[in-house]
Structure 1
Protein backbone atom coordinates (compact mmCIF):
# COMPACT_ATOMS: atom_id res chain seq x y z
CA UNK A 1 0.00 0.00 0.00
CA UNK A 2 1.39 3.39 -0.97
CA UNK A 3 1.99 5.80 1.94
CA UNK A 4 -0.53 8.63 2.06
CA UNK A 5 2.19 11.29 2.04
CA UNK A 6 3.60 9.86 -1.21
CA UNK A 7 0.18 10.10 -2.84
CA UNK A 8 -0.26 13.65 -1.56
CA UNK A 9 3.19 14.63 -2.84
CA UNK A 10 2.35 13.11 -6.20
CA UNK A 11 -0.95 15.00 -6.26
CA UNK A 12 0.97 18.21 -5.58
CA UNK A 13 3.28 17.40 -8.51
CA UNK A 14 0.21 16.79 -10.69
CA UNK A 15 -1.24 20.13 -9.63
CA UNK A 16 2.00 21.88 -10.51
CA UNK A 17 2.14 20.24 -13.92
CA UNK A 18 -1.47 21.00 -14.83
CA UNK A 19 -1.02 24.63 -13.82
CA UNK A 20 2.03 24.90 -16.07
CA UNK A 21 0.98 26.15 -19.51
CA UNK A 22 1.05 23.44 -22.16
CA UNK A 23 -0.87 22.24 -25.24
CA UNK A 24 -3.88 21.01 -23.25
CA UNK A 25 -4.32 24.25 -21.31
CA UNK A 26 -3.82 26.47 -24.36
CA UNK A 27 -6.29 24.44 -26.42
CA UNK A 28 -8.98 24.39 -23.72
CA UNK A 29 -8.64 28.10 -23.01
CA UNK A 30 -8.72 29.00 -26.70
CA UNK A 31 -11.72 26.74 -27.35
CA UNK A 32 -13.64 28.06 -24.34
CA UNK A 33 -13.01 31.70 -25.24
CA UNK A 34 -13.72 31.26 -28.97
CA UNK A 35 -16.67 28.85 -28.82
CA UNK A 36 -17.99 29.02 -25.26
CA UNK A 37 -17.91 27.02 -22.04
CA UNK A 38 -19.85 24.05 -23.42
CA UNK A 39 -17.29 23.57 -26.19
CA UNK A 40 -14.47 23.83 -23.66
CA UNK A 41 -16.00 21.18 -21.40
CA UNK A 42 -16.71 18.91 -24.39
CA UNK A 43 -13.08 19.22 -25.48
CA UNK A 44 -12.02 18.35 -21.93
CA UNK A 45 -13.71 14.94 -22.27
CA UNK A 46 -11.29 14.13 -25.09
CA UNK A 47 -8.34 15.42 -23.08
CA UNK A 48 -9.27 13.13 -20.16
CA UNK A 49 -9.59 10.15 -22.54
CA UNK A 50 -6.03 10.88 -23.65
CA UNK A 51 -4.88 10.78 -20.02
CA UNK A 52 -6.23 7.22 -19.74
CA UNK A 53 -4.06 6.18 -22.68
CA UNK A 54 -0.96 7.48 -20.90
CA UNK A 55 -2.01 5.85 -17.62
CA UNK A 56 -2.68 2.42 -19.15
CA UNK A 57 0.60 2.49 -21.05
CA UNK A 58 2.42 3.00 -17.75
CA UNK A 59 0.31 0.51 -15.79
CA UNK A 60 0.61 -2.33 -18.30
CA UNK A 61 4.36 -2.55 -17.89
CA UNK A 62 6.21 0.53 -19.06
CA UNK A 63 7.01 1.65 -15.53
CA UNK A 64 8.24 -1.80 -14.49
CA UNK A 65 10.65 -1.84 -17.43
CA UNK A 66 12.11 1.53 -16.51
CA UNK A 67 12.56 0.46 -12.89
CA UNK A 68 14.29 -2.74 -13.93
CA UNK A 69 16.64 -1.33 -16.60
CA UNK A 70 19.17 1.07 -15.07
CA UNK A 71 20.14 2.78 -18.33
CA UNK A 72 16.54 3.45 -19.36
CA UNK A 73 15.69 4.73 -15.88
CA UNK A 74 18.68 7.07 -15.73
CA UNK A 75 18.13 8.36 -19.27
CA UNK A 76 14.49 9.17 -18.59
CA UNK A 77 15.29 10.69 -15.21
CA UNK A 78 17.76 13.14 -16.74
CA UNK A 79 15.49 13.79 -19.71
CA UNK A 80 12.67 14.61 -17.31
CA UNK A 81 14.88 16.91 -15.24
CA UNK A 82 16.09 18.75 -18.35
CA UNK A 83 12.52 19.06 -19.58
CA UNK A 84 11.45 20.57 -16.25
CA UNK A 85 14.33 23.05 -16.44
CA UNK A 86 13.29 23.94 -19.99
CA UNK A 87 9.71 24.53 -18.79
CA UNK A 88 11.04 26.67 -15.93
CA UNK A 89 12.95 28.78 -18.46
CA UNK A 90 9.87 29.08 -20.67
CA UNK A 91 7.96 30.44 -17.67
CA UNK A 92 10.48 33.17 -16.80
CA UNK A 93 12.17 33.97 -20.12
CA UNK A 94 11.80 37.51 -21.47
CA UNK A 95 8.78 37.86 -23.71
CA UNK A 96 7.01 34.75 -22.40
CA UNK A 97 3.32 34.83 -23.30
CA UNK A 98 0.36 33.93 -21.14
CA UNK A 99 -1.71 30.89 -22.16
CA UNK A 100 -4.74 33.15 -21.68
CA UNK A 101 -3.79 34.97 -24.87
CA UNK A 102 -6.09 32.67 -26.80
CA UNK A 103 -5.61 31.57 -30.38
CA UNK A 104 -8.42 32.10 -32.85
CA UNK A 105 -10.27 28.81 -33.45
CA UNK A 106 -13.18 28.14 -35.79
CA UNK A 107 -16.29 26.49 -34.26
CA UNK A 108 -16.28 22.67 -34.39
CA UNK A 109 -18.92 19.97 -33.91
CA UNK A 110 -18.99 18.12 -30.54
CA UNK A 111 -17.50 14.94 -32.01
CA UNK A 112 -14.60 16.88 -33.45
CA UNK A 113 -14.12 18.76 -30.18
CA UNK A 114 -13.70 15.44 -28.35
CA UNK A 115 -11.37 14.11 -31.04
CA UNK A 116 -9.18 17.20 -31.06
CA UNK A 117 -9.04 17.21 -27.26
CA UNK A 118 -8.04 13.53 -27.32
CA UNK A 119 -5.29 14.04 -29.91
CA UNK A 120 -3.98 17.13 -28.11
CA UNK A 121 -3.72 15.11 -24.89
CA UNK A 122 -2.26 11.91 -26.37
CA UNK A 123 0.36 13.85 -28.35
CA UNK A 124 1.11 16.28 -25.51
CA UNK A 125 4.86 16.00 -24.76
CA UNK A 126 4.35 17.44 -21.29
CA UNK A 127 1.99 14.62 -20.27
CA UNK A 128 4.15 11.97 -21.94
CA UNK A 129 7.29 13.23 -20.17
CA UNK A 130 5.43 13.33 -16.85
CA UNK A 131 4.40 9.68 -17.16
CA UNK A 132 7.77 8.51 -18.46
CA UNK A 133 10.16 10.33 -16.15
CA UNK A 134 8.39 11.75 -13.10
CA UNK A 135 5.66 9.13 -12.65
CA UNK A 136 8.13 6.25 -11.91
CA UNK A 137 9.82 8.26 -9.13
CA UNK A 138 6.74 7.71 -6.93
CA UNK A 139 6.50 3.94 -7.52
CA UNK A 140 8.36 1.46 -5.32
CA UNK A 141 8.35 -2.37 -5.24
CA UNK A 142 8.22 -2.06 -1.44
CA UNK A 143 4.64 -0.78 -1.70
CA UNK A 144 3.22 -3.80 -3.54
CA UNK A 145 1.97 -4.32 -7.08
CA UNK A 146 3.49 -1.89 -9.59
CA UNK A 147 0.33 -2.19 -11.67
CA UNK A 148 -1.95 -1.17 -8.79
CA UNK A 149 0.38 1.68 -7.85
CA UNK A 150 0.39 2.88 -11.46
CA UNK A 151 -3.41 2.82 -11.61
CA UNK A 152 -3.70 4.67 -8.28
CA UNK A 153 -1.25 7.37 -9.33
CA UNK A 154 -2.77 7.60 -12.79
CA UNK A 155 -6.26 8.12 -11.37
CA UNK A 156 -4.83 10.75 -9.03
CA UNK A 157 -3.28 12.60 -11.99
CA UNK A 158 -6.50 12.36 -13.99
CA UNK A 159 -8.62 13.60 -11.07
CA UNK A 160 -6.38 16.59 -10.38
CA UNK A 161 -6.05 17.49 -14.05
CA UNK A 162 -9.77 17.11 -14.73
CA UNK A 163 -10.71 19.35 -11.79
CA UNK A 164 -8.28 22.12 -12.70
CA UNK A 165 -8.99 21.97 -16.43
CA UNK A 166 -12.74 21.99 -15.80
CA UNK A 167 -12.39 25.20 -13.81
CA UNK A 168 -10.21 26.64 -16.58
CA UNK A 169 -12.76 25.73 -19.26
CA UNK A 170 -15.62 27.21 -17.24
CA UNK A 171 -13.92 30.44 -16.27
CA UNK A 172 -11.40 30.97 -19.08
CA UNK A 173 -12.88 34.25 -20.28
CA UNK A 174 -13.09 35.76 -16.80
CA UNK A 175 -9.56 34.63 -15.91
CA UNK A 176 -8.20 36.06 -19.16
CA UNK A 177 -9.83 39.43 -18.48
CA UNK A 178 -8.55 39.44 -14.89
CA UNK A 179 -4.95 38.82 -15.99
CA UNK A 180 -5.22 41.58 -18.60
CA UNK A 181 -6.24 43.97 -15.84
CA UNK A 182 -3.63 42.64 -13.36
CA UNK A 183 -0.42 42.00 -15.34
CA UNK A 184 1.70 42.09 -12.16
CA UNK A 185 0.10 38.90 -10.85
CA UNK A 186 0.74 37.20 -14.18
CA UNK A 187 4.44 38.00 -13.81
CA UNK A 188 4.46 36.77 -10.19
CA UNK A 189 2.79 33.52 -11.24
CA UNK A 190 5.37 32.97 -13.96
CA UNK A 191 8.34 33.39 -11.61
CA UNK A 192 6.82 31.28 -8.83
CA UNK A 193 6.02 28.53 -11.33
CA UNK A 194 9.51 28.71 -12.81
CA UNK A 195 11.11 28.45 -9.38
CA UNK A 196 9.03 25.45 -8.34
CA UNK A 197 9.71 23.68 -11.64
CA UNK A 198 13.45 24.23 -11.23
CA UNK A 199 13.29 22.87 -7.68
CA UNK A 200 11.40 19.79 -8.89
CA UNK A 201 14.06 19.27 -11.59
CA UNK A 202 16.83 19.34 -8.98
CA UNK A 203 14.91 16.86 -6.81
CA UNK A 204 14.52 14.57 -9.81
CA UNK A 205 18.25 14.72 -10.62
CA UNK A 206 19.12 13.79 -7.02
CA UNK A 207 16.59 10.92 -6.89
CA UNK A 208 18.22 7.52 -6.44
CA UNK A 209 17.08 4.60 -8.58
CA UNK A 210 14.65 2.20 -6.91
CA UNK A 211 15.60 -1.44 -7.19
CA UNK A 212 13.27 -4.36 -7.83
Structure 2
Protein backbone atom coordinates (compact mmCIF):
# COMPACT_ATOMS: atom_id res chain seq x y z
CA UNK A 1 0.00 0.00 0.00
CA UNK A 2 2.10 2.89 -1.29
CA UNK A 3 5.16 1.71 0.60
CA UNK A 4 3.34 1.24 3.91
CA UNK A 5 3.57 -1.97 5.90
CA UNK A 6 1.29 -3.07 8.75
CA UNK A 7 -1.13 -0.19 8.26
CA UNK A 8 -3.62 -1.68 10.74
CA UNK A 9 -0.84 -1.85 13.32
CA UNK A 10 -0.11 1.83 12.76
CA UNK A 11 -3.81 2.68 13.00
CA UNK A 12 -4.05 0.90 16.35
CA UNK A 13 -0.85 2.52 17.64
CA UNK A 14 -2.09 5.93 16.51
CA UNK A 15 -5.44 5.53 18.27
CA UNK A 16 -3.68 4.50 21.48
CA UNK A 17 -1.41 7.53 21.19
CA UNK A 18 -4.42 9.79 20.64
CA UNK A 19 -6.18 8.43 23.72
CA UNK A 20 -3.12 9.04 25.88
CA UNK A 21 -3.51 12.43 27.66
CA UNK A 22 -1.01 15.03 26.48
CA UNK A 23 -0.46 18.76 26.22
CA UNK A 24 -2.88 19.15 23.28
CA UNK A 25 -5.75 17.28 24.93
CA UNK A 26 -5.29 19.19 28.20
CA UNK A 27 -5.28 22.46 26.28
CA UNK A 28 -8.50 21.57 24.43
CA UNK A 29 -10.28 20.42 27.59
CA UNK A 30 -9.26 23.56 29.45
CA UNK A 31 -10.44 25.85 26.63
CA UNK A 32 -13.72 23.96 26.22
CA UNK A 33 -14.56 24.05 29.92
CA UNK A 34 -13.57 27.68 30.32
CA UNK A 35 -15.12 29.14 27.17
CA UNK A 36 -17.47 26.56 25.72
CA UNK A 37 -17.84 24.31 22.70
CA UNK A 38 -16.98 26.86 20.03
CA UNK A 39 -13.67 27.72 21.71
CA UNK A 40 -12.90 24.01 22.02
CA UNK A 41 -13.61 23.34 18.35
CA UNK A 42 -11.39 26.19 17.15
CA UNK A 43 -8.67 24.99 19.51
CA UNK A 44 -8.91 21.58 17.85
CA UNK A 45 -8.71 23.15 14.40
CA UNK A 46 -5.66 25.17 15.41
CA UNK A 47 -3.88 22.17 16.89
CA UNK A 48 -4.77 20.10 13.82
CA UNK A 49 -3.26 22.77 11.56
CA UNK A 50 -0.09 22.68 13.64
CA UNK A 51 0.03 18.90 13.24
CA UNK A 52 -0.22 19.30 9.46
CA UNK A 53 2.93 21.42 9.55
CA UNK A 54 4.77 18.68 11.45
CA UNK A 55 3.51 16.01 9.05
CA UNK A 56 4.69 17.94 6.00
CA UNK A 57 8.07 18.59 7.63
CA UNK A 58 8.47 14.91 8.45
CA UNK A 59 7.40 13.89 4.94
CA UNK A 60 10.00 16.08 3.28
CA UNK A 61 12.80 15.44 5.75
CA UNK A 62 12.98 18.84 7.40
CA UNK A 63 12.17 17.40 10.82
CA UNK A 64 15.38 15.40 10.59
CA UNK A 65 17.29 18.68 10.73
CA UNK A 66 15.45 19.65 13.91
CA UNK A 67 16.07 16.22 15.42
CA UNK A 68 19.83 16.41 14.77
CA UNK A 69 20.35 20.04 15.74
CA UNK A 70 20.32 20.53 19.50
CA UNK A 71 20.44 24.30 19.06
CA UNK A 72 17.40 24.46 16.76
CA UNK A 73 15.53 21.97 18.91
CA UNK A 74 16.10 24.04 22.04
CA UNK A 75 15.18 27.29 20.29
CA UNK A 76 11.79 25.89 19.22
CA UNK A 77 11.38 24.20 22.60
CA UNK A 78 11.95 27.43 24.52
CA UNK A 79 9.69 29.39 22.18
CA UNK A 80 6.82 26.94 22.68
CA UNK A 81 7.28 26.76 26.45
CA UNK A 82 7.49 30.55 26.76
CA UNK A 83 4.27 30.96 24.77
CA UNK A 84 2.38 28.51 27.02
CA UNK A 85 3.66 30.20 30.17
CA UNK A 86 2.66 33.59 28.70
CA UNK A 87 -0.89 32.34 28.13
CA UNK A 88 -1.06 31.06 31.70
CA UNK A 89 0.22 34.28 33.27
CA UNK A 90 -2.12 36.34 31.11
CA UNK A 91 -5.09 34.28 32.30
CA UNK A 92 -4.03 34.55 35.95
CA UNK A 93 -3.76 38.34 35.69
CA UNK A 94 -7.08 38.78 33.87
CA UNK A 95 -9.61 40.11 36.41
CA UNK A 96 -12.67 39.83 34.18
CA UNK A 97 -15.42 37.28 34.75
CA UNK A 98 -14.59 34.04 32.97
CA UNK A 99 -18.25 33.38 32.15
CA UNK A 100 -19.29 36.91 31.27
CA UNK A 101 -21.69 36.85 28.33
CA UNK A 102 -19.55 39.22 26.31
CA UNK A 103 -16.62 36.84 26.79
CA UNK A 104 -18.51 33.82 25.53
CA UNK A 105 -20.04 35.40 22.44
CA UNK A 106 -17.15 35.02 20.00
CA UNK A 107 -16.61 37.34 17.08
CA UNK A 108 -14.24 36.83 14.17
CA UNK A 109 -11.33 38.36 16.06
CA UNK A 110 -11.63 36.13 19.12
CA UNK A 111 -12.15 33.04 16.96
CA UNK A 112 -8.94 33.78 15.06
CA UNK A 113 -7.15 34.31 18.36
CA UNK A 114 -8.25 30.95 19.77
CA UNK A 115 -7.32 29.22 16.52
CA UNK A 116 -3.91 30.90 16.48
CA UNK A 117 -3.18 29.93 20.07
CA UNK A 118 -4.02 26.28 19.36
CA UNK A 119 -1.85 26.34 16.25
CA UNK A 120 1.16 27.84 18.02
CA UNK A 121 0.77 25.51 20.99
CA UNK A 122 1.23 22.54 18.66
CA UNK A 123 3.62 23.83 16.01
CA UNK A 124 6.05 25.22 18.61
CA UNK A 125 6.28 21.87 20.38
CA UNK A 126 9.38 20.09 18.99
CA UNK A 127 8.31 16.90 20.73
CA UNK A 128 5.55 16.57 18.13
CA UNK A 129 8.08 16.80 15.29
CA UNK A 130 10.27 14.16 16.93
CA UNK A 131 7.21 11.97 17.50
CA UNK A 132 6.26 11.94 13.83
CA UNK A 133 9.85 11.42 12.74
CA UNK A 134 10.34 8.46 15.06
CA UNK A 135 6.95 6.75 14.64
CA UNK A 136 6.16 7.03 10.94
CA UNK A 137 9.35 5.34 9.58
CA UNK A 138 8.54 2.23 11.62
CA UNK A 139 5.64 1.51 9.28
CA UNK A 140 7.30 2.37 5.96
CA UNK A 141 9.12 -0.14 3.78
CA UNK A 142 12.87 0.56 3.58
CA UNK A 143 12.79 1.08 -0.18
CA UNK A 144 10.22 3.86 0.23
CA UNK A 145 11.90 5.93 2.96
CA UNK A 146 12.88 8.58 0.41
CA UNK A 147 9.28 8.98 -0.77
CA UNK A 148 6.99 11.54 0.84
CA UNK A 149 3.76 9.69 -0.05
CA UNK A 150 3.77 7.06 2.72
CA UNK A 151 4.68 9.73 5.29
CA UNK A 152 1.75 11.87 4.17
CA UNK A 153 -0.69 8.94 4.21
CA UNK A 154 0.32 7.82 7.70
CA UNK A 155 0.44 11.38 8.98
CA UNK A 156 -2.99 12.08 7.53
CA UNK A 157 -4.37 8.96 9.17
CA UNK A 158 -3.01 9.99 12.55
CA UNK A 159 -4.35 13.51 12.07
CA UNK A 160 -7.84 12.20 11.24
CA UNK A 161 -8.12 9.89 14.24
CA UNK A 162 -6.60 12.55 16.49
CA UNK A 163 -9.03 15.22 15.30
CA UNK A 164 -12.05 12.95 15.88
CA UNK A 165 -10.88 12.25 19.42
CA UNK A 166 -10.09 15.90 20.15
CA UNK A 167 -13.53 17.00 18.91
CA UNK A 168 -15.07 14.44 21.25
CA UNK A 169 -13.06 15.93 24.12
CA UNK A 170 -14.14 19.45 23.18
CA UNK A 171 -17.83 18.54 23.00
CA UNK A 172 -17.72 16.53 26.23
CA UNK A 173 -15.84 19.18 28.21
CA UNK A 174 -18.04 22.01 26.94
CA UNK A 175 -21.09 20.45 28.60
CA UNK A 176 -19.53 21.41 31.95
CA UNK A 177 -19.56 25.09 31.03
CA UNK A 178 -23.29 25.62 31.66
CA UNK A 179 -22.97 24.22 35.16
CA UNK A 180 -19.97 26.39 35.97
CA UNK A 181 -21.61 29.52 34.54
CA UNK A 182 -24.27 29.36 37.25
CA UNK A 183 -21.64 29.97 39.92
CA UNK A 184 -19.35 33.03 39.71
CA UNK A 185 -16.94 31.58 42.26
CA UNK A 186 -16.43 28.44 40.17
CA UNK A 187 -15.77 30.62 37.13
CA UNK A 188 -12.99 32.48 38.95
CA UNK A 189 -11.48 29.23 40.19
CA UNK A 190 -11.56 27.76 36.69
CA UNK A 191 -9.71 30.77 35.31
CA UNK A 192 -6.95 30.33 37.91
CA UNK A 193 -6.80 26.59 37.26
CA UNK A 194 -6.58 27.18 33.51
CA UNK A 195 -3.75 29.65 34.01
CA UNK A 196 -1.78 27.22 36.18
CA UNK A 197 -2.40 24.42 33.66
CA UNK A 198 -0.87 26.45 30.81
CA UNK A 199 2.09 27.45 32.97
CA UNK A 200 2.53 23.81 34.01
CA UNK A 201 2.52 22.65 30.39
CA UNK A 202 5.17 25.21 29.53
CA UNK A 203 7.38 24.19 32.45
CA UNK A 204 6.90 20.53 31.60
CA UNK A 205 8.12 21.18 28.07
CA UNK A 206 11.24 22.87 29.46
CA UNK A 207 12.00 20.26 32.11
CA UNK A 208 11.56 17.13 29.99
CA UNK A 209 14.75 15.73 28.50
CA UNK A 210 15.28 15.96 24.74
TM-score category of the 2 structures, normalised to the smaller one: 0.5 to 0.7
For 2:154 and 2:133, locate their aligned partners in 1 and report how far apart those are by CA, in whole Å.
Answer: 9
CA distance in 2 between counterparts of 1:180 and 1:12 reads 26
Q: TM-score, structure 2 length as denominator? A: 0.60
Task: Report 1:33-112 matches (<5 A).
Answer: 52-61=48-57, 64=63, 65-98=65-98, 101-102=101-102
- Which structure 2 residue ranges, 5 or more long, are not aligned? 1-9, 139-150
Q: How far 1:139 moved relative to its partner?
A: 0.7
User: What RMSD, in angstroms, separates the aligned Cα atoms of the two structures?
Assistant: 4.2
How far residue 184 of structure 1 moved from its aligned partner, in angstroms, is 1.7
CA contact (8 A) 2:46 2:119 kept: no
Q: 1:126 aligns to what?
A: 117
- The total of aligned residue pairs comes to 177
Query: Are the counterparts in 1 of residues 81 and 205 from structure 2 also a CA contact under 8 Å?
Result: yes
Task: Quickly say closer, same or farther: Cα 1:96–1:51, change in 2 above 3 A.
Answer: same
Q: Alpha carbons of 1:135 and 1:14: their partners in 2 closer, same or farther (altered >3 Å)?
A: farther
Q: CA deviation at 1:159?
A: 2.3
3-state SS, counterpart of residue 125 of structure 2? helix
Taking a change above 3 Å as real, the CA distance of residues 75 and 14 of structure 1, as seen in their structure-2 partners, is same
Farther-moved stretch of structure 1 (182-191 vs 146-155): 146-155
- Asked if structure 1 preserves the Cα contact closer than 8 Å seen for 2:66 and 2:73, the reply is yes
2:180 matched residue in structure 1: 179
CA distance in 2, matches of 1:142, 1:194: 32
Q: TM-score, normalised by structure 1?
A: 0.59
Q: Is the 8 A contact 1:88 1:198 kept in 2?
A: yes
CA distance in 2 between counterparts of 1:161 and 1:20 reads 12
Match of 2:26 among 16, 22, 26: 16
